[in-house]
Amino acid sequence: MINERMQKEINEQINAELWSGYLYLSMSAWFTQNNLPGFANWMYIQYQEEFTHAMKMFRYIHERGGVVTLKPIKAVDTKWKSATAIFEQTLSHERTVTSLINSLMDTAHEIRDYATINFLNWYVDEQVEEEANAEEILEKVKMIEKDKAAMYNLDKELSTRVFVDATLNAE
């Protein structure tokens, strides 16, 4: 049986992961509306990934005999000034998510919930990748945003990203 406080915090994180997905879906829409289909694809996959992050927690709470409580998902931004602004927000948001995961890990250590510590390790690793990906694209976009040909090429590169549910192999 999962500890109540741990359950409450994981439920809050489910909401945060779903919110992240909602944010990236909104960014995907912006890219589509601004004729950057490859960027839109990248963000759409990001949205799908966030939902898998939420679902991994959803399954975990049930595995531990707990109760999933889904809360309303708050509204997200719908307009941005540029692709650079979007990736700045993406990177800063991923850093926030990393700190949320770290707080969950703090709680798990405090209450000596070793199963949850193990479970959360997957997210600790994932956040390293999430921040690195956002940072890499942000640096590229900052360099080339005013150069249409270079943006076209980066858009083509981002159109090749495909969705893989990385949470399934990890269980």
Interacting residue ranges for ligand FEO, rule: CB under 6 A: 17, 20, 50, 53, 94, 97, 130
Q: How far is the CB of 13 from ligand FEO (least distance, A)?
A: 9
- Asked if residue 69 lies in contact with residue 58, where contact means CB atoms within 8 angstroms, the answer is no
SS3 content of the chain, % helix, strand, coil (to 5): 75, 0, 25
- Return the number of the residue (147 or 165) whose C-beta is nearest ligand FEO: 165
- Which residue's CB atom is positioned nearest to ligand FEO? 53
Q: How far is the CB of 20 from ligand FEO (least distance, A)?
A: 5
Q: How far is the CB of 153 from ligand FEO (least distance, A)?
A: 25
Nearest to ligand FEO of 94, 113 (CB atom): 94
Cα 58 from Cα 63, distance rounded (Å) = 9
CA distances from 2 to 66, 69, 79, 101, 111 (A): 6, 14, 40, 17, 11
Smallest distance from ligand FEO to CB 56, Å: 9
Measure the CA–CA gap between 12 and 9, rounded to whole angstroms.
Answer: 5
* Strand, helix or coil for residue 60: helix
Give the dihedral of Cα atoms 91, 78, 44, 143; nearest 10 deg: -50
Considering the complex, state which of residue 94 and residue 155 has its C-beta at the smaller distance from ligand FEO: 94
Task: Return d(Cα 19, Cα 1) in angstroms, integer.
Answer: 27
Nearer to ligand FEO, 22 or 152 (CB): 22
User: C-beta of 94: minimal distance to ligand FEO in Å?
Assistant: 5
Looking at the Cβ atoms of 97 and 138, the one nearer to ligand FEO is 97
